[in-house]
Structure 1
Amino acid sequence: MATVREQCPEPDPVTRPWAKHTKNGEHALVCHAIDTMEVAYLLYPIILGPRIRRELDRAFEPLQAQAQDWVALFCGLHDLGKFTPAFQALVIDVAKKRFTEEDHEILDRNAPTKARRRWDTKHGLGTAAHMEDMLKAAGASHDTAQLIGHVLGGHHGWFPGPGVIRGIKKKDDLGNQSWARRRSDLVRAVAALRGLDFETPNWSRVEMPSLALLGLAGLTTISDWVASDSSRFDYEPWPTDLLTYRDHARKQAEQALERTWWTAWQLPTCTGYRDLFRKSPPRPLQQAVEKVLNQCAEPGVLVVEAPTGEGKTRAGLQAAADLSRRLGLGGLYLATPTKALSKQAADDVRELMRATNSPLDVNLVYSGAAAELRAGRQEDQIRPTAVGEHEHSGDEDGQDSLEWFTRKRGLAFPVGVGTIDQLVKSVIRSGHNYLGMTSVSNKVVIVDEAHAYDLYTGLLVDQFLWFCGWVGVPVVLMSATLPANRREELLEYWHAGAEGRAPDPERTRVVEPGSWQVTWSGAQRSAQSFDLSDETRGRGPVRVEHVSDSPAAIAARVVERVGAVGTAIVVLNTRVRAQDVHDRIADLLESATRRPELVLFTGESQGVARTEVEARVRMLLGKGSPEDRHAIVVGTQVLEHGLDIDADLMVSDLCPVDLLFQRAGRLHRHARHNRPPGVKTPLLLIADTDPAEREARRPSARTSLGFSTGTSSIYLPWILGRTRAVLTDVLSRGTWDPLDEIGKQVHRVYVEDDPLIEPGWERAWEAAELGYERRRQWLRFQASAVMASLVTTPRSLLRLTRHSGPGGQTRPRDGRERDAK
């Protein structure tokens, strides 16, 4: 509970304004400024990455004091705009008790009434206006004064424009010269607590680069929220001695970070694979990662291209640990396409934390994680209160601070695992987007399943990689089916950001398909191919057969193959088809003497129900499942990845070739010695329209390529058609060696200009291609409408939060598109 002391007889004028007024009482503005300053000083080396810190050092070097002190001071001054009649009068009774009678008239003029519920000036704008004027008076250039002022004034999520600030200076809201003089006195008093002279004559030599401004903006908001946790920072209405209060605030800040385990990730001196994962010997993939990073001395991008089950996740974590140690970083964030994958990956990251003897826990970061965190250990959480409480209704702080520290906690805390959406929100023009960029600046970012993102989300990922290059964030990309041209696009965006230029499409053209390799692209580029492990090679080729796409035919083939013994995974493209096939299998098994376990798993399973279904699927088909297991799991795309499961038989609806490879990776994934007769070799049944039925169509009826019901509403017909054409040869052979063939097949479907058109179906192919191009154009338009523009000048940083459309729109509006790569 916050402690409260009575008013002293003659308070210092700088202690009169209040900052927070809640059930805990009142908290003096100068005290909240000191609280925030002390938090910012401690978080400075934890949150801000090396490149941002170097830019801040250069910016404040003329002031002959540590940049860390100046940045902490500015963070503490974020609420200076509360020292105005407009804000103080919001609780008029409190204001009149705190201020002398000579201020009562202007307070009354600014007090809200029933007829005027809103007030004119938000306190962030007051901060921007005063800091700009005070810095100019101290000798700072117009640009430096304005940029610092506007960044501090945008601490609730939106950077104000110059015109807005010019307008409020003409209003009564900020008070007269007496109020301005007292605000400046507060600034000097707080600066003195850090041993700083605000009126230093060297301000004219200070220039603020865009990276320094980004770091100041993000650290200001995060420090404000931490210091607003009233359970950790006592409310002090009337401080009698600011130096004594500073010492008290420093101790509270240290305890707050210590109790929430908010500290940088400390790495051991050796971060090789054997040092981190002692119980298992490294595979060739992990040895290749070690080799390409051996001479790494600056940020870059590591691309890990390896098949499912080869150990990509451990290779990525090994790289993150090694890069963090080499580059002096303090954390990692692992991004996955889905929540399910995030939960699974969290266990791997926890193992890494134990291997590095770190006390840090993993923070899950995705929609819905807030409820999980609130149900967890309360003592480990930051719970800001009264942040923006006295702002306008519908205020720019729409992303409330408590939600940010729960739903997005891992972005600011050292170690996080979550969905890719939480990362790409930082490149969407919306409030607080700069927080994401600041929060990853001192981390290694790992992007798992880099091939799995649709064109819209992929464009956001491109933009995010540009900002990673700009900020100096090393990135690890992991994929099993990344087209070679897509790999080059991702690398080009990162390097364009690092060099502060626009991406050049000419640098991304490739003619050769990709292969199993590890690529490091930093100041220099090196690629290391590797042999697949014996376990992966042991899976061998896959037998491939066609099956009619009718639910009845699929159900009959599954029961025929594994009705009596064995296991099967059936992946359908829509929930309706999955339910239909499941029910038909259940009917066919009614009279069976030995029925297999039958499970339905679709995206409709959420929360506890999903967790229970996943647990059951793992029990039936996971690595520890019994040798005599007998089960059929029917589902949708949720079975593609995120589950370490294995089956004797796989049935899959026709889907893009890269996703088919992903699905087929569940066949004979684990070493087993007693596979049932008929499926001792992995068997893949591809459910597609019957070829004879297609050929029977009259030429006039061939206006579409013809796919299973609902399939063309999930995947684009152009990509499905090209996949079908590539698989024609596979089906004619009856065998598929995906480990050797998938690179060329992905290249052929997504990269090559080969038309692959079937004779007699020209009209259908033309319509499919036209739809594909229109879809790509529409998705590009949608993405460009919400994406933050590239930062090319310090002033362009202020455009990051310019709102356009719904914030956080990380998926296409219709949610249809999956494969327009």
Structure 2
Amino acid sequence: MDLPRPLNDWSKTHDGVPGIPVRQHLLAVACVAEALLRRYPRLCDRCHITSQALFFLAASHDVGKLSLDFLQKSSVWLERQGLAEKAAQGSWKTVYARPHPRISCDSLQKFLVDNRLANKKTAACWAAVVGAHHGRISKAYSSAPLILKEAERLLEEERQTCLHELWEHFGRPSLPEVSGKDDPVLWCVAGLVTLADWLGSDEHFFPPDMLLDEDALRRRAEEAVETIGLGLPVVAQGLAFAEIFAGRSPYPLQAEAAAAIDRPGIHIIEAPMGMGKTEAALWAAYHLLARGQADGIFFALPTQATSNRMFLRFADFVRRVCPQAVPAQLIHGNSWLQDELKALVCPATPGSGADPCWFNTTRRSLFAPFGVGTVDQALLAVLAVRHFALRRFALAGKVVVIDEVHTYDMYTGTLVRYLCRELEHLGCTVIILSATLTEEARCSLLSLPAGEEGRDVPYPRISGRAGSDVLPERCPPSLPDKVVHVAHPGREEALAQAVELAGQGAQILWVCNTVARAQEDFMELRQRAAAREKGPDVGLLHSRFPFYRRESLERAWMARLGPEGERTEGSILVSTQIVEQSVDLDADVLFSELAPTDMLLQRLGRLWRHPRSGRPVEAPLFCLLREGVSCEDLRQMDAAAIRAGLGEKAFVYSPYVLLRTLELWEPLEELALPSGIRGLMAATYAEKDVPPGWEALYAEDYGQDLADRRLADMGTDIWQVALDDAAALKTRLSAEDALMVLARAREGDRIALLEGGDAVMPPDGRISLAAARRLHRNTVRIPASCLSGKPQDGQLAPYHIDGCLLAGEGAMVAPLLRPGRALYWDEDLGVVIRKEER
């Protein structure tokens, strides 16, 4: 088939009309890559690649647009080239339907091999990098060479000529040989190419209808990168600890951290609650920034709630150490709801010309020099999801702090370990924080031979590895011990005791393992308190409140039980696991259901957290609610009977770990903290002979852990080319939830929200950002097990909301509610799920 020569190609359109040619767009993206390298000066050394090779790869990304598959997308172009009739007769839309990134990938691979610039393996890898600029690997590593149709052979010659011109233009660069298809350097470069393409396609800086020479393209590229605020601005030098952290002097742990964490690698800080691990990590990070050994910081926490609480502290740190940086970013799936919180750190410091709005998406926000968010955002850099490479590049060279690492199950924990290894290869400094880390977990995170669990392991401890060097351990002094009295009341006795102590002025924290149990205990405690003259306040906090209500409750109880809280009267806060981590609550007495040792120790971190005079109890008191079945009786039971005996908590935590915890804690009458933490953890998880029923539960755990680990390994196979956006790999294995809007009424397109006000859903589904925020503020997560199917609301689905619950008098109206279940709304209880007789 004859094609017109020369073939006037196009890369971008303007009002439907073909605009700039392909070669101009390729040079524009290379110019952006050049501007980016000035912001990331260590990238080439880290990736062992020359800047010219990077420019060549960036420029090659869209050479696949020199194809009929792409060019025919413009009907105007077909008419101008006199090809419209041929296209219709030849069914070009069906015949030529390859995505242009795949064509770029094939053509670059052929160019590298034919010109002997790389062996087949290396050529396939670098071609995949270029072909992944739309976020997904274009073809499998072992795919056979493409067989071209007759018409495409002419355009393949054009692509090969273009690639040769680019190669000559950038000084005939050589590409480094890669160690294998999983070489981490590949995907860091892929992220750079993708980002350069994003910016090089920004019509504000590169109009699609304006022909520009290379000098003009270079000036516009510099302007684009400068406007966004990418890269790390100048770091304030020589700051003292007190200048960064509100006049405080460093604890020994914090001083040791800065000395121990002196180079990129993987480092672990193990220390009890209240020793300032957060400040220790940030103090070490500041020194790395000041020495030019880091390009920024990402602080990763286990939940959105803990991220929100850390955000202002972190933003204040950033303002002090890097005054000209764009504001710290809050990075998690619902950060867009936190306008009031983010407004406290914006606008940027006067004098910074950067526009922080560019970072206002989860994919872009990791590029900000400083961010705090959920660990899930970092884990997406190692899962085979779209734009994983972009996230890897965004994290490369940063200090990545992973807090509360002990909280993750086998699946997420495996992903965290994989993330740590990848980040190390990308020149990052990974700082892992934990109060209750087992020796086995520590060695696994550091890729060291398994250590022996034992009571003589030092604690606190700072340990690490940098490359092949195992760093000397540092063991700063711990906090003075506090002796915690441990009681084991039954539930009825505990309820009465909590109300009595609160009536005497004590601040009580009552922690349950499930929302349903917390609701039941709250109602009982509230009733008992109301029966007393001037009875104590009783509150409830859990995850089944809509966002607006939980926000209000958290604010009120943080004001009461926080470090500066008013304590004129006693109170009882009933809650769930949400108070275990990164919550600065200070209780006089703690009541808790049985949970694994590490979770109990985390809960104990809220007990007598701060020095305080005038407490109504003489010593810290921990009341571990007695089980209905004794440990001795549980030894005689089979696995099924044990589960029944442990009740609902056996569906929340491993029954085997609960048994080992109960065996250890049941005889305890007092506990020295923090010196007792290491011994308790070791004794809970050490191998030992156990009864047959316990052995069966352990075998179930072992099998489940193997399955979860295998699932995590499969999820990190980034060469899953066939994976599409609908196959959303998860960062956590948890029960499925449905996100539902709580409404007082719904009439057609109008939703009267529970909080007050309306949200109107236009027929086209496009609502304002403010209305979308109102919707999300009124959402609550309902376990999918309550529903007989997945609800689908055509109007709400675009906002990742499954449906609408009408909350009024009595039961709520829920779509697809499973028979025998009922939902109720109560301002104090939240959403209540009840099983009812059919």
TM-score category of the 2 structures, normalised to the smaller one: 0.7 to 0.9
Distance across 1 between alignment mates of 2:628 and 2:125: 65
1:435 aligns with 2:355: no
Which one of 47, 53, 73 corresponds to residue 90 of structure 1? 73
Say if 1:366 and 1:408, in contact at 8 Å, map to a contact too: no
Alpha-carbon distance change, 46 to 604 in structure 1, aligned in 2, over 3 angstroms? farther
Say if 2:264 and 2:293, in contact at 8 Å, map to a contact too: no
1:461 aligned partner: 416
Report the alpha carbon displacement of residue 693 of structure 1 after superposing the two structures with TM.
10
Which one of 571, 579, 583 corresponds to residue 639 of structure 1? 579
1:515 aligned partner: 459
Alpha-carbon distance change, 348 to 300 in structure 1, aligned in 2, over 3 angstroms? same
Distance across 1 between alignment mates of 2:625 and 2:138: 56
1:596 aligns with 2:521: no
Say if 1:86 and 1:111, in contact at 8 Å, map to a contact too: no
1:413 aligned partner: 368
Which runs of structure 2 are paired with 1:729-744 in the superposition (5 Å)?
Answer: 729-730=667-668, 734-744=669-679
Alpha-carbon distance change, 696 to 163 in structure 1, aligned in 2, over 3 angstroms? closer
Report the alpha carbon displacement of residue 420 of structure 1 after superposing the two structures with TM.
1.4
Distance across 2 between alignment mates of 1:611 and 1:249: 48
Alpha-carbon distance change, 341 to 33 in structure 1, aligned in 2, over 3 angstroms? same
Report the alpha carbon displacement of residue 108 of structure 1 after superposing the two structures with TM.
4.8
1:386 aligned partner: none
Which one of 153, 157, 166 corresponds to residue 135 of structure 2? 157
* Residue identity matched to 2:472: S
Which one of 219, 223, 226 corresponds to residue 258 of structure 1? 226
Distance across 1 between alignment mates of 2:254 and 2:485: 30
Say if 1:320 and 1:446, in contact at 8 Å, map to a contact too: no
Distance across 2 between alignment mates of 1:300 and 1:620: 41
Which runs of structure 2 are paired with 1:608-627 in the superposition (5 Å)?
Answer: 608-627=548-567
Which runs of structure 2 are paired with 1:705-716 in the superposition (5 Å)?
Answer: 707-716=645-654
2:807 aligned partner: none
Alpha-carbon distance change, 33 to 585 in structure 1, aligned in 2, over 3 angstroms? same
TM-score, with normalisation over the residues of structure 2? 0.78
2:188 aligned partner: 215
* Residue identity matched to 2:251: R
Distance across 1 between alignment mates of 2:639 and 2:105: 67
Report the alpha carbon displacement of residue 668 of structure 1 after superposing the two structures with TM.
1.4
Report the alpha carbon displacement of residue 17 of structure 1 after superposing the two structures with TM.
1.2
Which runs of structure 2 are paired with 1:98-247 in the superposition (5 Å)?
Answer: 100-101=81-82, 107-108=87-88, 116=94, 120-143=97-120, 144-161=122-139, 166=144, 168-171=146-149, 175-177=152-154, 179-184=155-160, 186-187=162-163, 196-197=170-171, 200=172, 203=174, 207-208=177-178, 210-230=183-203, 232-237=204-209, 239=211, 242-243=212-213, 246-247=214-215
Distance across 1 between alignment mates of 2:127 and 2:634: 72
Report the alpha carbon displacement of residue 713 of structure 1 after superposing the two structures with TM.
0.3
Report the alpha carbon displacement of residue 712 of structure 1 after superposing the two structures with TM.
0.5
Q: How far does the alpha carbon of each residue in 1:13-71 deviate from its partner, in whole angstroms, 9 at most, with x for none?
A: 687313345679855433432332222222235458x4x522655x4xxxxxxx22331
Report the alpha carbon displacement of residue 112 of structure 1 after superposing the two structures with TM.
6.0
State the SS of the aligned residue for 1:531.
coil
Which runs of structure 2 are paired with 1:650-689 in the superposition (5 Å)?
Answer: 650-676=590-616, 679-689=617-627
1:41 aligned partner: 34
Report the alpha carbon displacement of residue 564 of structure 1 after superposing the two structures with TM.
4.7
1:500 aligned partner: none
Report the alpha carbon displacement of residue 605 of structure 1 after superposing the two structures with TM.
3.1
Distance across 1 between alignment mates of 2:68 and 2:634: 82
Distance across 1 between alignment mates of 2:583 and 2:671: 23
Report the alpha carbon displacement of residue 777 of structure 1 after superposing the two structures with TM.
2.5
2:310 aligned partner: 345
Which sits farther off after the overlay, 215-224 or 465-474? 465-474
1:422 aligned partner: 377
Distance across 2 between alignment mates of 1:543 and 1:39: 63
Distance across 2 between alignment mates of 1:489 and 1:560: 46
Alpha-carbon distance change, 250 to 356 in structure 1, aligned in 2, over 3 angstroms? same
Alpha-carbon distance change, 227 to 609 in structure 1, aligned in 2, over 3 angstroms? farther
Report the alpha carbon displacement of residue 105 of structure 1 after superposing the two structures with TM.
6.2
Report the alpha carbon displacement of residue 754 of structure 1 after superposing the two structures with TM.
3.0
Instruction: Report percent identity of matched pairs.
Output: 23
Q: How far does the alpha carbon of each residue in 1:223-276 deviate from its partner, in whole angstroms, 9 at most, with x for none?
A: 22233333x32423251xx42xx3333333333333332221533343663563
State the SS of the aligned residue for 1:304.
strand
Distance across 2 between alignment mates of 1:716 and 1:228: 51
2:545 aligned partner: 605
State the SS of the aligned residue for 2:582.
coil
Say if 2:595 and 2:661, in contact at 8 Å, map to a contact too: yes
Alpha-carbon distance change, 305 to 700 in structure 1, aligned in 2, over 3 angstroms? closer
Which one of 730, 733, 738 corresponds to residue 809 of structure 1? 730
2:332 aligned partner: 366
1:584 aligns with 2:524: yes
1:499 aligned partner: none
Report the alpha carbon displacement of residue 327 of structure 1 after superposing the two structures with TM.
5.4
Which one of 682, 706, 709 corresponds to residue 747 of structure 1? 682
* Residue identity matched to 1:217: A
Alpha-carbon distance change, 736 to 56 in structure 1, aligned in 2, over 3 angstroms? closer
Say if 2:13 and 2:208, in contact at 8 Å, map to a contact too: no
Runs of 5+ in structure 1 lacking a partner?
1-10, 60-66, 384-403, 494-505, 789-797, 817-821
2:60 aligned partner: 77
Q: How far does the alpha carbon of each residue in 1:400-433 deviate from its partner, in whole angstroms, 9 at most, with x for none?
A: xxxx961233323221211112222222233322
Which sits farther off after the overlay, 584-593 or 703-712? 703-712
Which one of 719, 727, 733 corresponds to residue 799 of structure 1? 719
Distance across 1 between alignment mates of 2:57 and 2:410: 40
Which runs of structure 2 are paired with 1:485-524 in the superposition (5 Å)?
Answer: 485-492=440-447, 506-509=449-452, 511=454, 512-522=456-466, 523-524=469-470
Say if 2:129 and 2:189, in contact at 8 Å, map to a contact too: yes
Which runs of structure 2 are paired with 1:461-480 in the superposition (5 Å)?
Answer: 461-480=416-435
Say if 2:459 and 2:478, in contact at 8 Å, map to a contact too: no
1:769 aligned partner: 698
Say if 1:85 and 1:110, in contact at 8 Å, map to a contact too: no
* Residue identity matched to 1:303: I
Say if 1:132 and 1:149, in contact at 8 Å, map to a contact too: yes
Alpha-carbon distance change, 207 to 188 in structure 1, aligned in 2, over 3 angstroms? same
Which runs of structure 2 are paired with 1:284-433 in the superposition (5 Å)?
Answer: 284-293=252-261, 296=262, 298-326=263-291, 328-360=293-325, 361-370=327-336, 372=338, 380=355, 406-433=361-388
Say if 1:316 and 1:476, in contact at 8 Å, map to a contact too: yes
Pairs aligned (count)? 716
Alpha-carbon distance change, 139 to 648 in structure 1, aligned in 2, over 3 angstroms? same
Report the alpha carbon displacement of residue 682 of structure 1 after superposing the two structures with TM.
1.5
Report the alpha carbon displacement of residue 513 of structure 1 after superposing the two structures with TM.
3.7
TM-score, with normalisation over the residues of structure 1? 0.79
Alpha-carbon distance change, 21 to 708 in structure 1, aligned in 2, over 3 angstroms? farther
Which one of 660, 665, 669 corresponds to residue 722 of structure 1? 660
Say if 2:10 and 2:19, in contact at 8 Å, map to a contact too: no
Report the alpha carbon displacement of residue 120 of structure 1 after superposing the two structures with TM.
2.4
Which sits farther off after the overlay, 260-269 or 437-446? 260-269
Distance across 1 between alignment mates of 2:636 and 2:450: 45
Distance across 1 between alignment mates of 2:198 and 2:134: 10
